[in-house]
Chains A and B, each alone.
Chain A
Amino acid sequence: KAGVTQTPRYLIKTRGQQVTLSCSPISGHRSVSWYQQTPGQGLQFLFEYFSETQRNKGNFPGRFSGRQFSNSRSEMNVSTLELGDSALYLCASSARGPDEKLFFGSGTQLSVL
């Protein structure tokens, strides 16, 4: 069974640009969560989608948005990038929700210059 796939693995952008990250969950999983990981802050919850609906949202500005498609694949978009957005962005999937076992992808390392 294929794991969670995130693309791209690495991304370099400049301030003011926008970026779209992609996540393909494990087959059959309907819940996809996104996290931002930085050395000082640990994992910060961005949002969770279930069956194409955003079910939960963390405390991030509106520049961070996401969506989920009918095949459960999910995308995350960050507009007007800031230096502080440099981080590892992780996607996790589960069958029903984040309070059960989460399966993580290897993440997208975003660097904003």
Chain B
Amino acid sequence: QKEVEQDPGPLSVPEGAIVSLNCTYSNSAFQYFMWYRQYSRKGPELLMYTYSSGNKEDGRFTAQVDKSSKYISLFIRDSQPSDSATYLCAMSESNYQLIWGAGTKLIIKP
């Protein structure tokens, strides 16, 4: 079993829909949780960064961490075609090494 599990998709939704992306993990020591977005032929870029549990909101994006369930989520409101990309979750303890999910491919249909 992988330390971080993420459904590869693709997930296809109509423009304007609310998108929910999720990762589960097995290591209860993880404290730092991140979501990256990767467009085709580009490197990942950081979207959201959360320490420990709770919610964080940035514009149309909301990140949630539930440490008791070992589950993190990224919500995208009012989804746009430009949100079509692969979304990767990543997490770490405090030892400088990130563990990554395999990424979920998201397609927003106009």
Residues of A participating in the B interface, judged by any CB pair closer than 8 Å: 4, 35, 40-45, 48, 55-56, 58, 90, 92, 97-107
Q: Give A38 Cβ to nearest chain B Cβ, in Å.
A: 10
Interchain CB contact under 8 A, B95 and A43: no
A106 to B49 CA separation, bound complex (whole angstroms): 21
Interchain CB contact under 8 A, A99 and B32: yes
Interchain CB contact under 8 A, B98 and A45: yes
Q: Which of B75-110 contact A (CB under 8 A)?
A: 88, 90, 92, 94-103
Size band of the B side of the interface? 20 to 34
Of B32, B41, B46, B98, most A-chain CB atoms within 10 Å: B98
Interchain CB contact under 8 A, B45 and A104: yes
CB-CB < 8 A to B49: which residues of A?
Answer: 100-101
Closest 5 CB pairs of A and B: A104-B43, A42-B102, A43-B100, A97-B96, A99-B92
Q: Give A87 Cβ to nearest chain B Cβ, in Å.
A: 13
Q: With A98-B92, A99-B92 given, is the CB distance from A42 to B100 under 8 Å?
A: yes
Residues of B participating in the A interface, judged by any CB pair closer than 8 Å: 6, 32, 36, 41-46, 49, 88, 90, 92, 94-103
The one of B90, B94, B96, B100 in contact with A55, judged by C-beta atoms closer than 8 angstroms, is: B96
Interchain CB contact under 8 A, B96 and A56: yes
CB-CB < 8 A to B102: which residues of A?
Answer: 40-42
A55 to B95 CA separation, bound complex (whole angstroms): 10
Q: Give A95 Cβ to nearest chain B Cβ, in Å.
A: 12
Q: Give A47 Cβ to nearest chain B Cβ, in Å.
A: 10
CB-CB < 8 A to A104: which residues of B?
Answer: 43-45
Q: Give B65 Cβ to nearest chain A Cβ, in Å.
A: 15
Interchain CB contact under 8 A, A99 and B94: yes
5 additional A-B pairs beyond A102-B46, A106-B41, A106-B43, beta carbons within 8 Å, are A40-B102, A43-B44, A45-B98, A56-B95, A58-B97
